[in-house]
């Protein structure tokens, strides 16, 4: 074998040895490099976590406004429902702290009018949903909850629910119910006393914390809807007026309850009476909540047989905000029976003829947002007082009678 051949053979042997060695060294280097990247990334992550944690601890906690849940682009209705159900209404604020907070968020003069809010809803890229706040005042359970569940079903995101009940009452609503976790911090309510007005204001204040609530309806545990959700929603949001009954009753049960000690702040000619169950716009709700002066006069001088819940808000509206109300209630009751309380309805009363008679019992004026004045046979959207045993027949005829209207 020649010298050249020997060199070639040695070179080949060198290549056969050095090639695996280079491969091993290359692969080892890659593992080392990966380890260095991992360790470096881990250390950077720990550093950033500690920095963010320190920043979070040093930054004051801010409250997430409830109305942010209705600013959405492509959220599904199921997602909205899940968000709404997780909103906690419980807080540890006193009534005064709550009222002060609401006043600081918005005042009647700074609160957007209905027309401007609806304009924002239609013109903004982000859809702002106008909601109706349904405020239930009850001493315990809601015996007709299943009917209301059916009423609200499929309309998530267009309503809010608030329940004021006795603090000692233990809730038993399933998670699938619209009333689940909708209870506000409450106080005991005693019939015929100022505590009833306190409960009304407490409901309004909690509902006003949600800016998207533009209409507010006060309901009792014996109330039922007389139409489907869409009809009632369009009726309430289609006008800039509130629906608060306020009339001059010359009888003993009206002017006879006026206390001369209210003079001169409140004259007998100012004195008005009306249904406790109202529907109001956001602007007028803020006016009602803002009043403390006339509330104190009523609290001091309106004692049974003067009932503050029947006179305080009707008189206040008549004195200062009459142009903001249609001067009628949307809740039908039967006062044909003699006594301090309206008539009750039981299971045998529930027929389609009976409900239609309530729904279209009379005609009234309706002023739409665009200024049009029309006459309608839909003067009442709700009715009371329906006992617990009416639930079954109401659920049975609901799709046929209450599901729609002419």
pLDDT in tens, 230-246: 999 999 999 999 999 99
CATH number of the domain enclosing 76: 3.90.550
Say what the pLDDT of residue 42 is: 58
Contact partners, residue 212, CB within 8 Å, separation at least 6: 66, 67, 70, 128, 129, 130, 131, 160
The answer as to whether 358 is a domain residue is: no
Q: What span, in angstroms and rounded, lies between the C-alpha atoms of 204 and 139?
A: 17
Cis peptide preceding 264, ω within 30 of 0: yes
The CA dihedral of 349, 382, 319, 105, to the nearest 10 degrees, is: 150
- 64 pLDDT more than 70: no
Instruction: List CB contacts of 57: < 8 A, sequence separation 6 or more.
Output: none
Q: Is 319 contained in some domain?
A: yes
Per the structure, the count of domains in the chain is 1
pLDDT in tens, 174-207: 999 999 999 999 999 998 899 999 999 999 999 9
Residues spanned by the domain of 292: 66-333
* Residue 400: inside a domain: no
Q: Token pair of 400, please? A: 């046929």
Q: Given this model, what pLDDT does residue 361 score?
A: 84
Q: What does the block give as tokens for 76?
A: 């599904």
Mean pLDDT of the chain: 80
Q: Is residue 393 part of a domain?
A: no
Q: How confident is the model at residue 51 (pLDDT cuts 50, 70, 90)?
A: low
Is residue 56, in this structure, part of any structural domain at all?
no
Task: Write out pLDDT tens, residues 313-371.
Answer: 999 999 999 999 999 999 999 977 766 677 799 999 999 999 999 999 899 999 999 88
H/E segment holding residue 102: helix 95-105
Residue 359 lies in a domain: no
Report yes or no on 392 lying in a domain: no
Q: Is residue 116 part of a domain?
A: yes
- Tens of pLDDT along 126-174? 557 899 999 999 999 999 999 999 999 999 999 999 999 999 998 788 9
């Amino acid at each position: 074998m020649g010298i050249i051949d020997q060199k070639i053979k040695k070179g080949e042997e060198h290549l056969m040895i050095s090639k695996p060695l280079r491969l091993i060294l290359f692969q080892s280097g890659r593992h080392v490099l990966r380890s260095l990247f991992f360790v470096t990334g881990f250390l950077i992550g720990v550093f950033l976590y500690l920095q963010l944690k320190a920043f979070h601890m040093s930054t004051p906690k801010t409250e997430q406004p409830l109305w942010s849940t209705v600013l959405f682009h492509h959220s599904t209705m199921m997602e909205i429902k899940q968000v709404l159900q997780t909103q906690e209404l419980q807080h540890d604020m006193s009534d005064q702290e709550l009222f002060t907070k609401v006043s600081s968020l918005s005042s009647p003069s700074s609160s957007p009018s209905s027309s401007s809010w609806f304009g924002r809803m239609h013109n903004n890229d982000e859809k702002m949903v106008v909601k109706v706040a349904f405020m239930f005042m009850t001493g315990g359970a809601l015996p007709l909850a299943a009917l209301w569940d059916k009423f609200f079903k499929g309309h998530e995101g267009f309503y809010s629910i608030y329940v004021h009940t006795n603090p000692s009452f233990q809730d038993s609503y399933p998670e699938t119910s619209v009333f689940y976790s909708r209870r506000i911090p409450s106080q005991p309510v005693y019939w015929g006393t100022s505590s009833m007005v306190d409960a009304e204001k407490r409901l309004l204040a909690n509902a006003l914390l949600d800016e998207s609530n533009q209409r507010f309806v006060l309901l009792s545990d014996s109330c039922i809807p007389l139409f489907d959700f869409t009809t009632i929603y369009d009726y309430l949001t289609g006008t800039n007026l509130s629906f608060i009954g306020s009339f001059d009753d010359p009888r003993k049960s009206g002017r006879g309850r006026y206390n001369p000690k209210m003079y001169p702040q409140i004259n007998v000619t100012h004195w008005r009476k009306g249904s406790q169950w109202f529907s109001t716009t956001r602007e007028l709700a803020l006016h009602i909540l803002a009043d403390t002066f006339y509330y104190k006069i009523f609290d001091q001088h309106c004692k049974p047989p003067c009932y503050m819940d029947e006179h305080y808000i009707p008189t206040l509206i008549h004195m200062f905000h009459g142009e903001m109300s249609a001067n009628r209630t949307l809740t039908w009751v039967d006062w044909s029976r003699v006594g301090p309380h309206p008539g009750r309805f039981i299971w045998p009363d529930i027929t389609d003829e009976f409900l239609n008679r309530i729904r279209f019992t009379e005609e009234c004026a309706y002023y739409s947002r665009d200024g049009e004045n029309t006459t309608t046979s839909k003067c009442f959207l709700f009715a009371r007082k329906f006992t617990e045993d009416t639930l079954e027949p109401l659920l049975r005829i609901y799709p046929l009678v209450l599901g729609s209207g002419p």
